[in-house]
Amino acid sequence: MSKSRSKSRNLTSKLRPDEEARVRVLAETAKIAWKELQRFFAQGIVVLVKPGLSLVDVAYEVTQDNEQEVQHWMESGKLQSVSDDQAREWLEANALMWAVVVKPWVLVQPVMNQAPPTND
């Protein structure tokens, strides 16, 4: 086993199970262009996590089958299916998304401030 793998395993072995699960979710989260998610949208499996919620926290709660919390987010509109209009808008804007797969769902959240930073 390589030193880096061994070091990584040592770091995660010191975590509580819930922390380790969150680290796994975080490691599986990535930026991706909305156009690359179109086939999943067409399948009806893309779920929008509204800004203000942590994508990682939502994904973690879904993996833990926390129905009460997930239901609360859905009822408050913080977690919802992506509408056709929203999908079209993101496609036209070439939007960049944070995404994570939590089978059978693909959770997405728009990357805010897509413009490169300026030195003002």
pLDDT digits (tens, 9 = 90+) for 67-89: 999 999 999 999 999 999 999 99
pLDDT digits (tens, 9 = 90+) for 81-118: 999 999 999 999 999 999 999 999 999 999 986 544 44
- The model carries a pTM of 0.79
CA distances to 32, 57, 60, 63, 95 from 66, rounded to whole Å, are: 27, 11, 9, 8, 30
pLDDT digits (tens, 9 = 90+) for 8-63: 455 556 778 778 888 888 888 999 999 999 999 999 999 999 999 999 999 999 99
Do 34 and 96 form a contact (C-beta atoms < 8 A)? yes
Closest to 28 (Cα-Cα) out of 108, 107, 97, 101: 101
